[in-house]
């Protein structure tokens, strides 16, 4: 269950829901605008509109289609698309693969654990 107060001035879309979608569990949210991408689910998963027992009874079914939009493959594709557009790299297959290799290499170097010396 993800509950959040409505905040004046608005906010972006909350990504905390992604964790629940990733493990295929039922989701209940408040009607906060940060959950607007989940509020389109049918039947509703809004805890302010539908009893929690009903949401749990409906299970993961209301958000299955939303979860399909956020698979690992789609997420990687979206990030690559944004980065390529931002960096103005031509979007042909060779440049995408080269960019991906450089990006992953840099990522691995940045976030790798130091080697332990015995």
- Say whether both 59 and 82 belong to one domain: no
Higher per-residue pLDDT: 47 or 104 = 47
- pLDDT, tens only, 5-25: 776 655 666 667 777 777 788
Q: What DSSP line would sit under the chain, residue for residue?
A: -B-----TT------THHHHHHTT----B-S-GGGTTTTT-SS--BTTTS-HHHHHHHTTGGGHHHHHHT-HHHHHHHHHHHHHHHHT---SHHHHHHHHHHHHHHHHHHHPPPPPP-
In a domain, 1, yes or no: no
Mean pLDDT of the region 89-96: 60
In a domain, 93, yes or no: yes
Higher per-residue pLDDT: 43 or 16 = 43
- Say whether both 23 and 65 belong to one domain: yes
pLDDT, residue 9, reads 58
Q: Predicted confidence band at 51 (pLDDT cuts at 50, 70, 90)?
A: very high
- Say whether both 63 and 76 belong to one domain: no
- Say whether both 48 and 77 belong to one domain: no
Residue span of the structural domain in which 54 resides: 17-69
Higher per-residue pLDDT: 94 or 81 = 81
Q: How many domains does the chain have?
A: 2
**Whether pTM exceeds 0.75:** no
- Say whether both 53 and 76 belong to one domain: no
The torsion region of residue 31 among left (phi > 0), alpha (psi -120 to 50) and beta comes to alpha
In a domain, 85, yes or no: yes
- Say whether both 80 and 61 belong to one domain: no
Mean residue pLDDT across the chain: 77
Residue 110 has pLDDT above 80, yes or no: no
Other C-beta atoms lying within 10 Å of the C-beta of residue 87: 8
How far apart CA 61 and CA 118 sit, in angstroms, is: 51
- Say whether both 88 and 100 belong to one domain: yes
Calculate the CA 50 to chain-centre distance.
Answer: 24
Higher per-residue pLDDT: 107 or 116 = 107
């Amino acid at each position: 269950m993800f509950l959040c107060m409505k905040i004046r001035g608005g906010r972006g879309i909350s990504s905390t829901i992604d964790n629940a979608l990733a493990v295929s569990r039922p989701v209940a949210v408040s009607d906060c605008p940060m959950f607007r991408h989940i509020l389109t689910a049918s039947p509703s998963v809004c805890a302010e509109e539908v009893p929690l027992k009903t949401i749990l009874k409906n299970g993961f079914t209301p958000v299955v289609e939303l979860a399909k939009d956020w698979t690992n493959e789609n997420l990687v594709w979206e990030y690559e698309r944004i980065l390529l557009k931002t960096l103005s790299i031509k979007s042909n297959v060779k440049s995408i693969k080269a960019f991906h290799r450089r990006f992953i290499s840099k990522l691995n170097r940045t976030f790798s654990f130091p080697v332990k010396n015995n």
